[in-house]
């Protein structure tokens, strides 16, 4: 698959570079518009759990993250030729609002129903209306304006999941009152109800969970249900704080809310700015010094949406930022390093026609979600909302500043002792429950039940039937934090460690207590895992397999298998010698 001209070869150092990269990502979609421009269908024969109309609405709506930002950018761009390019590319999206919201038109998006994928796209449509009302809403006929208003109002009263989805209705209501002429009093109660629920997800240090957080009481209740019913597959309460907590959804939406709703909800808007500052003191650690993000959690086909927090931080113009994001150059550095890493590694992310594939660094349906249509990957355009900044804004013209997480280390990874998702998801244990996740070595997802197919990198797999089936960590008890003393030739070092108890099987015949010991100053590239495995009843057999990082098994120099050696020779050099020790 070829790289994409305008993106893959883009230096991505200035505002105009970002605008041209955005246009390059949008242009391949133009041939896939429906006749009246209300839908986009990339001709790839894959399916989702929702209807095809909603999937084609995704194709129209998700690029609006970039289209809206481009329309905002065009009002403060002095380069007339660039403005003309912007107007030419974005016009079909402006036109599509007419047919998409008209119930009598064949390209109508459809009414929003309970737990409907259309809810997701409503937030993006609201964003476009909020950033460019004079280009999208104002030119509409009286009936066209009524249609837009009525479509957004179908969000009202619908059942929604108790997670980041509540932001979609919040923004629909903000657009209704700020752009579409609906009185604030008509939507305030529903907005407040959704926002109050969202605020219950807050954990600490700026981080929110993506939904309710499982407690020990929740876990005990679920076990008692298992004891009564003999089943463990009921959907319970999860425990996840992932990219949806930040760039994909919650932090991103909080930041946009602080920009667009500060006049109607000033206290909450300021609280969200405070959370954004706190969040930034730790979230930067998810990116290595080259800008690569640690792949962790679900929806990784959104790719460079991982950097969306930095773009929203800039667009929301949050001041008084803490170290290490305290300057415009630092924010710019994190944002552009991430985008440049993707541009450099983009050979496998595009179809031959320039549209995005489903996958991470290459097409991969094994790691996709059941809600990923061919149009879904354009959620990545969240990270390009920063182009909406004016030419004289201090962020994008600032000299970027480089910051490295661990100067002594050569490997950038996180340890994850106790996260999990409770609802059905493809490869859920692989995405949340491994012990470590790396920006250098993406994780494996299972392709079958055998150990060779599970590919248990960074996990402990157990079998009690001779290897026919295997169990890995899924739900665990609450994480315990303590201190361990690590002894070395240069002296002892006290380090914080994390432990969690988990049960491979629902009958609790076996328990495992895993302790993760993070890197130390002596061993900055390594971590240690200690597993205490207890069989609580007699088992005929119990087999265990522990895995490290999923490294590529072939040499870069000639593509042949990596050789295995017992010892390193004196001539071995980091970043040069290719072998397995």
Per-residue pLDDT of 163-200, as tens digits, reads 999 999 999 999 999 999 999 999 999 999 999 999 99
Span 212-270, pLDDT tens digits: 999 989 888 888 888 899 888 888 899 999 999 999 999 999 999 999 999 999 999 99
Which of 388, 406, 436 is the C-terminal boundary of a domain? 388
Instruction: Read off the CATH number of the domain in which 155 is found.
Output: 1.50.10.20
Q: Structural domain tally of the chain? A: 3
**What confidence score (pLDDT) does residue 556 get?**
85
Residues 469 and 369 placed together within one structural domain of the fold:
no
CA angle 333, 203, 383 (to 5 degrees): 30
| pLDDT exceeds 70 at position 406 | no
Residue 398 covered by a domain:
no
Looking at the structure, tell me whether residues 279 and 339 fall in a common domain: yes
d(C-alpha 98, C-alpha 513), whole Å: 58
Same domain, 535 and 427: yes
Query: Which domain, by its residues, includes 528?
Result: 416-546
- Indicate if 125 and 244 belong to the same structural domain: yes
Residue 124 token pair: 């993006």
Residues 128 and 57 in one domain: yes
**CA nearest to 165, candidates 119, 131, 203:** 119
Q: Are residues 207 and 190 in the same domain?
A: yes
Give the integer Cα–Cα distance in Å for 159 and 115.
Answer: 6
476 and 575 within one domain: no
Residue 10 is assigned to a structural domain of this protein: no
Average pLDDT value over all residues in the chain: 94
Clarify whether residues 198 and 278 are in a common domain: yes
Structure confidence at residue 1 (pLDDT): 67
Q: Are 564 and 540 within one domain?
A: no
Question: What's the pLDDT at 405?
Answer: 47
DSSP code per residue over 457-499: TTSEEEESSTTSS-B---SBPPPEEEEEEEEETTEEEEEEEEE
Is residue 408 pLDDT above 60, yes or no? no
Q: What is the pTM of this model?
A: 0.94
In a domain, 447, yes or no: yes
401 located within any domain: no
Cβ atoms of 62 and 42 closer than 8 Å = no
Q: Same structural domain for residues 378 and 467?
A: no
- Residues 575 and 540 reside in one and the same domain: no
Confidence of residue 409 (pLDDT cuts 50, 70, 90): low
| Residue 303 within any structural domain of the chain | yes
* 380 located within any domain: yes
Q: Tell which residue, 334, 338, 332, has the closest CA to residue 399.
A: 332
Mean local confidence (pLDDT), 34-42: 99
Span of 321-330, 402-411, 449-458 with lowest mean pLDDT: 402-411
pLDDT at res. 223: 87
What is the mean pLDDT of the segment spanning 15-23? Answer: 97
Segments in 117-249 forming alpha helices (H): 118-131, 133-136, 142-153, 166-178, 184-199, 216-229
The predicted pLDDT at position 177 comes to 98
Q: In this structure, what token pair is assigned to residue 392?
A: 């004289």
Residue 514 lies in a domain: yes
Residue 226: predicted pLDDT: 86
Q: Does one domain contain both 532 and 562? A: no
**Residue 405 belongs to a domain:** no
């Amino acid at each position: 698959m070829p790289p994409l001209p305008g993106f893959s070869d883009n230096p991505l150092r200035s505002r105009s570079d970002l605008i041209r990269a955005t246009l390059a990502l949008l242009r391949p979609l133009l041939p896939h518009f429906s006749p009246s421009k209300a839908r986009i269908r990339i001709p790839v024969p894959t399916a989702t759990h929702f209807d095809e109309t909603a999937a084609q609405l995704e194709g129209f709506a998700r690029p609006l993250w970039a289209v809206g930002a481009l329309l905002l950018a065009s009002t403060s761009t002095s380069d007339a030729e660039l403005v003309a390019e912007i107007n030419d590319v974005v016009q079909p999206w402006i036109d599509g609002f007419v047919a998409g919201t008209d119930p009598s038109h064949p390209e109508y998006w459809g009414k929003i129903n309970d737990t409907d994928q259309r809810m997701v796209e409503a937030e993006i449509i609201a964003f476009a209306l909020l950033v460019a009302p004079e280009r999208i809403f104002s030119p509409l006929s009286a009936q066209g304006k009524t249609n837009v208003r009525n479509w957004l109002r179908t969000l009202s009263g619908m059942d929604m999941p108790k997670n980041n989805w509540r932001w979609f209705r919040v923004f629909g209501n903000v657009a209704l009152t700020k752009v579409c002429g609906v009185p604030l009093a008509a939507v305030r109660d529903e907005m407040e109800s959704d926002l109050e629920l969202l605020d219950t997800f807050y954990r600490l240090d700026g981080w929110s969970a993506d939904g309710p957080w499982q407690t020990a009481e929740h876990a005990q209740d679920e076990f008692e249900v298992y004891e009564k019913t003999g089943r463990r597959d009921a959907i319970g309460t999860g425990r996840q704080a992932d990219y949806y907590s930040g760039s994909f959804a919650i932090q991103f939406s909080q930041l946009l809310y602080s920009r667009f709703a500060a006049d109607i909800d000033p206290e909450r808007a300021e609280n969200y700015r405070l959370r954004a500052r706190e969040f930034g003191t730790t979230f930067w650690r998810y990116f290595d010094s080259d800008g690569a993000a640690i792949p962790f959690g679900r929806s990784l086909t959104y790719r460079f949406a991982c950097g969306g927090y930095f773009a929203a931080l800039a667009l929301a113009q949050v001041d008084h930022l803490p170290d290490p994001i305290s300057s415009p150059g630092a924010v710019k550095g994190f944002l552009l390093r991430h985008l440049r890493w993707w541009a450099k590694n983009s050979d496998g992310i595009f179809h031959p026609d320039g549209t995005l594939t489903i996958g991470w660094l290459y097409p991969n349906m094994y790691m996709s979600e059941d809600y990923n249509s061919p149009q879904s990957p354009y959620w990545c355009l969240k990270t390009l909302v920063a182009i909406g900044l004016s030419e004289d804004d201090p962020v994008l013209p600032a000299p970027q500043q480089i910051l490295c997480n661990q100067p002594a280390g050569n490997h950038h990874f996180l340890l994850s002792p106790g996260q999990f998702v409770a609802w059905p998801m493809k490869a859920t244990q692989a995405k949340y429950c491994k012990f470590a996740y790396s920006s250098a070595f993406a994780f494996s997802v299972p392709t079958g039940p055998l150990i060779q197919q599970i590919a248990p990198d960074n996990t402990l797999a157990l079998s009690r039937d001779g290897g026919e089936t295997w169990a890995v960590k899924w739900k665990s008890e609450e994480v315990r934090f303590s201190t361990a003393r690590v002894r070395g030739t240069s002296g002892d070092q006290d380090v914080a460690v994390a432990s969690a108890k988990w049960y491979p099987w629902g009958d609790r015949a076996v328990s495992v207590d895993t302790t993760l010991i993070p890197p130390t100053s002596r061993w900055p590239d390594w971590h240690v895992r200690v597993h205490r495995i207890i069989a609580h009843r007699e088992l005929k057999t119990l087999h265990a397999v522990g895995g490290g990082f999923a490294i590529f098994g072939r040499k870069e120099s000639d593509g042949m298998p990596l050789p295995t050696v017992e010892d390193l020779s004196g001539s071995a050099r980091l970043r040069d010698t290719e072998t397995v020790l």
